[in-house]
Structure 1
């Protein structure tokens, strides 16, 4: 359906009270039920006010917004609606509720529940502060003023922000949380697009596609993107020292650690999903946290545990929730340069209840950790959109130490300013963070001196809390800021740099001191923050700070610092290229391994890819500045990368004279006659190394040579003596169109390996002249019809050639399949009849799946690694195999490219830049296509996984295959 279901398919549900025995904890832990339906339902977010009360956002309207007509939806579940919904009070009344719950007697239970706001429409998170309620009511950030705190809004809501995307309601703006700096932070998921304005202030919107972290400053009404990219963000958390984290709905990580102005990996790179990269010259993105152990999909959100009612062993660990596997995970968190890596330690809370779906958690006023449970048998958004959802269920639990006493003192509103200052060193994170917020909003001048004295503390707490409070009160003079640059706590140094540069400028003396600090600072997080701040400054200050970091010999392999430094430099390459080049006049920077490894190649590539005469002259200037062969080689790596996969255009004389004699492969791509002859000779010379041969083959795949060239490539493609060159030669042949290529490969097909057969099918399906030859060769002695799956037939039809279409219908008259439901039921019956043999099933997996998928660390990397997928869920797995296009995992969508030389190519987009894309085909091979050769690039609406995977398997083979696919550990003979 394309609308809310009147009678949803609710799935199984266990009544409140009966669920607790199914929740298992470690021996030193206890779990307690706090709230359940009917008081609450669909709790996607909660927060605590200064009185310790619990505020819950009940996202009952999900997934369909009220009052809107859906006019379309793509394969990523991005919907189009007939209009933008109005904001309250003139909104379309929905089912969402904002409620508040209070523990009156301090026993840890919530005796009172009150619905403060009802009938909201896409309200998924709520926090209280600055005299009212802040609600993420997509597409609006609303502020309900409530100055007297009676929980009755003083009037209609104020629209503080508008324009957040509503395309996919499981990816909307979400996760409101107060930062220690006084900003209100929020996230945006992967499948929405925002055009954010501040009504009454902005004429032009701030545009963002996909995941971001954003923030809003209530006192000044400023809005900005804090970090670009991430996973499908749905929830944010700050640790005790003010670092920001989110979860990720992928695998192999516990989440993202966000630094200010970081440009992060976005989930998937499909052009039909995110469009072109926001910065085509980023040349890399910050990634998620690493893990020392395999991690299944997915960790929805994680928090830093700082809650004294939990055992000491859990303090300082990273606690994550996994709604797919019905458990919580505790991990140690250790520094990895300027970011972190995790190591899983255990599962402190797990459930056999399939409807237990933890979606949010937080350190609580009581000293425990509170967890919200979305309470669904069906958690995938695809299923939710189809009406498989229970909008009336939801639970909230508390995790605490067995026998631990809960904190009773939770109402901070009644405390004096002096008492709040005493709480800045409390052993509960919530008390410290809330005291900072209250003190900042009160701005009591009587405590300023005491707060300044606390800055001298040599421990993080309360020094950080005092810093955050004084900053929000406007009481940090430049003299104090300079003194804090020498503070013994690294995060105090990092935060004073961050807070000082938030406005985009530094006072001269403070800038000078930060520049000196950049030379000597040993802490990677502080260095990273210097670069974050540099990215916000004018070019004079920004480039000067970046230069100090770049000249340092350390952090060559840091996960963040090299890219952060590059992004500072690149930001000024367009408008201040002369200033960028001026920073390279000194020999010291050319002696830096950091510069030669991370900056020089990117800088050369950036100017070369930009491609204008002025940019190419910058390339010439870089070569002129290079003091030695090592520096020149670093620049040339970037130059060759800029023209990888495409012909090199005519270059300015100034650049040609500086280039000298480049590599053979580059000269071939420039079309030099002598180089073409040398290349042909190298391909014929048995003394040429395979590495050099591959470089020449790839160059000829870019620059279309003579018939002599393609005949040489064709010979290498079918050579039994040089199997390492077969695939590269096959890819290079994409650039030629002679009919003889198709005839030769069709004749070679029966003698080739299965991997090479896949490459042949991929190649021959790309051009209509070869596709006709391919289809005419179907028969028992050449190419069996069983080798043509649904996806190959779909690719052939994309040519729009009547002769091809006629041959497809002639050779495959029964191309239509049985309905998915009938096939699913038939297969379930076969598999339930008797057990299979996993040993026999392994060979079937190797033959049919291992070229694309890994299982137990063996296999290909075209599709997802299956080792950590939920392979014990047979019904979900059957749908994925029988109907791979029903719901496509992000990052594995099939795209179709049509080129101006009449090729039709398909695969998934593995990389792209401003001049070319890299397409990974069904055979696992990468093809680089210049953008100028592309006529169209669009999603195919099909998964990379082929249909018909189980074709040809009898009942016993099917049982064996699934027996192997579902085993939990590798088998040994």
Structure 2
């Protein structure tokens, strides 16, 4: 009798006979509020529909496969269901994680939920075997006779409760089971654990189970790598590393020997894939429109700061781009490999093969050098189908040189529906191979190979065997192989030498001599990894330190130089500064590199406060100032870094650096950065030393000769500025400049003058606009009264009209007076109030105000779920009742949608680009248009900000630097900055900028025309 504990070992099983029970909303909800919200939540995206799955063999006929490839059905239901990830072990067996417990963990209840369907649970689940059993399991499939058919299956681990990834190595089976990384003992390496697991890492977030930790891969350096998606948090601890906190998407790694955990790189897409190429580069797919990043160590990549949260470093001041893509910008290729197996036709070698689960195809893309990184050129879709259930979610290269694809196989793909409508009875795995290629590979077991044979495999044409031979060597730590590996490191064959270097390292043989050999090797990738491995322990000996410094001066390869910058960030200041200096002085071409300038910035930033004198010392070398990277990237950022961080020591260094700058132009740029670092705050906090240094530039850079005085609160300067603002004969530029300044600082004595400007018939529209914006800072009842009184006099100017309304709806008292004027006095027309302003009045959350708004603008009242359903049904019938004209639809699109959305070559960028979406799905389009608030794509969320001085503002967050956040109004306009001290409350709205009822403006034929254009392929 075998007792199956939660996440415990299992016995042989040839099918999925028992299906997991789906959890209802009532079952998962801890309270009525959660249940009500989830029941009313309108699902969006590729949802479950009424179609039925096509039988596996029959579905194969629907695939169109490029001419020189063949596609085999390897596994299908009932043997495999909901396969989320695959991996291969040292015997070539295929391990499959079956994610049947998704989307809700067993035994937990949801206590709160946000508008992105991120959940907070009532408890942290216990690690197996103590935790509640779930429906996930890990199955081993084996081809026992090498004919390409997986004729044997074994359930290795069952009862898992949210498991996303598995990999073997070091005598263990490693399983990602958020919030844990589990290590199951498997000393006999049969795949069946010999005991209970150890939770070697804890703290992975579970807020969004389609974005949890995933994708275990052994790195060339012997660390265990993984990814985490965009909408979860983490606070990771191991036995030696404690409380490493981060938000959102990262690549992370864990040293299984030393038990250290660290974040390798931050940002990217909703990371659910990790891939290493033959040079050790790290890739991951992307849920956006490109192929994702080429991750560099310690770097930061794009992310939505609002939805996904800030970087771990508040002073990133930018990010590296994803790899440039030349090709169709289609969402989304979230899982990919770089094929280096040597068995497909030669045209596939070295190219990316990526799966697109949303649009049901497999993409072939080539890599091309792009400075220190790579760019992607799409070539063709090598697999396509009209079967909408085809959902390829994972791709791996196998030991046979084939490419394996895991198919979730479901009509549903979207996670934006809380109902568990997933089909838990289907799943497929396919293999791509050369059309003339042989299926399968003779059985083997690398664990039985002697050292000599493993060393031979390091030279295999198939990357899979090279990687797994290295894994075996890492398991054994057999140092008797080091002489042969050291000899191999001397090889003129760069790949052989690189494999030898990695193997030496994982065997424990890496030392200064090996590092020196690698650093001076003729192959650039060996040099790159010599640099990286030298810096992994965050310290180097003086001998290696000097070699890195010299290499920074002489290195001709951009990728190596980029790694030198990454390593400098990790090293102590005494070793880092000389590397940074040489990179700046000897490689002017790097100013145009996509990555290197920011990598150097992050290296410098890491020492900004730990060694301020080192920063100053570096800039004492006059040749440093001639560097374009210094001029264009470093100077402004180091100044902002010190100003935002604040404090006498930081201000002192900032002042010293400005004084050291060799030209007036450079000084001006640095002083401008001081202004930017202040984020619109006054200068009171700055040191006298720094104020004296920047004073000569106030007229040119701070807005006239009175600017510093205004920002410092000097009463004489403020009085002079107000005189100029109120003087109709003064320079309009000066009046505008000082009025803008008074919108950034709080000087109540300005109200009288600003109101005079607003009321005067002689005031230009531009100046009145700025004055109205400036008045928003001051909480005075008479402002609302006087603006309303003056309103008829300037209503004729659209900009002034909008500025006045926006001002009046920013405070509760002013809003009440505005509504009374519209409702009773009729001196302001309700037609003057925009949809956005109406919404802002609702944000005040005042029942009396909301009641009046509902009465004055009845069509602005949010539609109920039942009304939205009625709208969906109505427009679905309209679309089915006739055909549309796409050419006419284009004109309607430009008029109704084009201001915000781009489609192909036309439209704006306020909302998401529609080109890459699944526009052939009418139901999906209709849901998004009829109910734009049901799901707001990351990066387009709008924040409601309540300030400490009583204003209610709206904006999209575009940057977060230290204590300063910058926002831009939802429909465009001048950015505004707020310090944390000015923000009383900030929350992301559950409302889209796009209004409801947008189709109500169109005739039935116009609706059909619009959809004809939206669904048309270019």
Q: What is the TM-score normalised by the length of structure 1?
A: 0.92
- Alpha-carbon distance, 1:360 to partner: 0.7
**Map 1:602-681 → 2, pairs under 5 A:** 602-649=637-684, 651-661=686-696, 662=698, 663-665=701-703, 666-667=707-708, 668-670=710-712, 673-674=716-717, 677=720
* Counterpart Cα distance in 1 of 2:327 and 2:832: 38
**Equivalent position SS for 2:527:** helix
* Counterpart Cα distance in 1 of 2:959 and 2:268: 17
Q: 2:920 aligns with which of 869, 872, 882?
A: 872
* Counterpart Cα distance in 2 of 1:904 and 1:51: 63
**Map 1:468-487 → 2, pairs under 5 A:** 468-487=502-521
Report the counterpart of residue 767 of structure 1 in structure 2.
811
Report the counterpart of residue 811 of structure 1 in structure 2.
856
- Alpha-carbon distance, 1:466 to partner: 0.7
- Alpha-carbon distance, 1:801 to partner: 5.0
- Alpha-carbon distance, 1:528 to partner: 1.3
**Map 1:850-865 → 2, pairs under 5 A:** 850-865=898-913
Q: 2:841 aligns with which of 796, 805, 823?
A: 796
Confirm whether residue 257 of structure 1 aligns to residue 291 of structure 2: no
**Equivalent position SS for 1:396:** strand
* Counterpart Cα distance in 2 of 1:121 and 1:368: 31
Closer, same or farther: CA 670–160 of 1 in aligned 2, 3 Å: same
Closer, same or farther: CA 615–443 of 1 in aligned 2, 3 Å: closer
Q: 2:949 aligns with which of 901, 908, 922?
A: 901
Post-superposition Cα deviations, 1:376-405, rounded to whole Å, max 9, x if no partner, equal 21111123x312211221111111121123
* Counterpart Cα distance in 2 of 1:842 and 1:733: 42
* Counterpart Cα distance in 1 of 2:896 and 2:821: 23
Report the counterpart of residue 17 of structure 2 in structure 1.
none
**Equivalent position SS for 1:942:** coil
> Does structure 2 conserve the Cα–Cα contact (< 8 Å) formed by 1:730 and 1:759?
yes
- Alpha-carbon distance, 1:579 to partner: 2.5
Confirm whether residue 209 of structure 1 aligns to residue 244 of structure 2: no
Aligned length: 956
- The alignment's C-alpha RMSD in Å is 3.0
- Alpha-carbon distance, 1:173 to partner: 0.8
Report the counterpart of residue 404 of structure 1 in structure 2.
437
Confirm whether residue 338 of structure 1 aligns to residue 372 of structure 2: yes
> Does structure 1 conserve the Cα–Cα contact (< 8 Å) formed by 2:757 and 2:763?
no
> Does structure 2 conserve the Cα–Cα contact (< 8 Å) formed by 1:226 and 1:260?
yes
**Map 1:542-553 → 2, pairs under 5 A:** 542-552=576-586, 553=588
Unaligned runs of 5+ in 1: none
Report the counterpart of residue 599 of structure 2 in structure 1.
564
**Map 1:259-658 → 2, pairs under 5 A:** 259-266=296-303, 268-270=304-306, 273-383=307-417, 385-406=418-439, 408-409=441-442, 411=444, 412-552=446-586, 553-649=588-684, 651-658=686-693
* Counterpart Cα distance in 2 of 1:651 and 1:5: 53
- Alpha-carbon distance, 1:968 to partner: 2.5
**Map 1:693-732 → 2, pairs under 5 A:** 698-703=740-745, 705-709=750-754, 712=757, 731-732=773-774
Confirm whether residue 173 of structure 1 aligns to residue 213 of structure 2: yes
Report the counterpart of residue 28 of structure 1 in structure 2.
68
Post-superposition Cα deviations, 1:470-511, rounded to whole Å, max 9, x if no partner, equal 111122331232122121211110101111111111111111
**Equivalent position SS for 1:549:** helix
Closer, same or farther: CA 77–447 of 1 in aligned 2, 3 Å: same
> Does structure 2 conserve the Cα–Cα contact (< 8 Å) formed by 1:57 and 1:97?
yes
**Equivalent position SS for 1:349:** strand
Report the counterpart of residue 939 of structure 1 in structure 2.
988
Closer, same or farther: CA 756–920 of 1 in aligned 2, 3 Å: farther
* Counterpart Cα distance in 2 of 1:756 and 1:297: 41
**Equivalent position SS for 1:225:** strand
* Counterpart Cα distance in 1 of 2:898 and 2:803: 15
**Map 1:946-961 → 2, pairs under 5 A:** 946-961=995-1010
* Counterpart Cα distance in 2 of 1:849 and 1:697: 35
- Alpha-carbon distance, 1:180 to partner: 1.3
* Counterpart Cα distance in 2 of 1:714 and 1:395: 71
**Equivalent position SS for 2:458:** helix
> Does structure 2 conserve the Cα–Cα contact (< 8 Å) formed by 1:727 and 1:925?
no
* Counterpart Cα distance in 2 of 1:712 and 1:144: 74
Single out whichever of 77-86 and 144-153 deviates more from structure 2: 144-153
Single out whichever of 643-652 and 870-879 deviates more from structure 2: 643-652
- Alpha-carbon distance, 1:220 to partner: 2.3
> Does structure 2 conserve the Cα–Cα contact (< 8 Å) formed by 1:664 and 1:675?
no
- Alpha-carbon distance, 1:674 to partner: 5.0
Confirm whether residue 63 of structure 1 aligns to residue 103 of structure 2: yes
**Equivalent position SS for 1:230:** coil
**Equivalent position SS for 1:795:** helix
Closer, same or farther: CA 686–958 of 1 in aligned 2, 3 Å: farther
**Equivalent position SS for 1:562:** helix
Unaligned runs of 5+ in 2: 1-23, 30-46
Post-superposition Cα deviations, 1:338-373, rounded to whole Å, max 9, x if no partner, equal 222112111111111111111111111111111111
* Counterpart Cα distance in 2 of 1:689 and 1:331: 55
Post-superposition Cα deviations, 1:524-561, rounded to whole Å, max 9, x if no partner, equal 21111112111221221122322222334231132222
- Alpha-carbon distance, 1:27 to partner: 1.2
* Counterpart Cα distance in 1 of 2:135 and 2:83: 13
Post-superposition Cα deviations, 1:545-585, rounded to whole Å, max 9, x if no partner, equal 22222334231132222222122222222232222222222
- Alpha-carbon distance, 1:223 to partner: 1.8
Post-superposition Cα deviations, 1:731-751, rounded to whole Å, max 9, x if no partner, equal 555435623674378547874
- Alpha-carbon distance, 1:17 to partner: 0.6
**Equivalent position SS for 2:592:** coil
Report the counterpart of residue 917 of structure 1 in structure 2.
965
Single out whichever of 508-517 and 561-570 deviates more from structure 2: 561-570
> Does structure 1 conserve the Cα–Cα contact (< 8 Å) formed by 2:173 and 2:186?
yes
Closer, same or farther: CA 800–150 of 1 in aligned 2, 3 Å: closer
Single out whichever of 539-548 and 523-532 deviates more from structure 2: 539-548
* Counterpart Cα distance in 2 of 1:517 and 1:739: 66
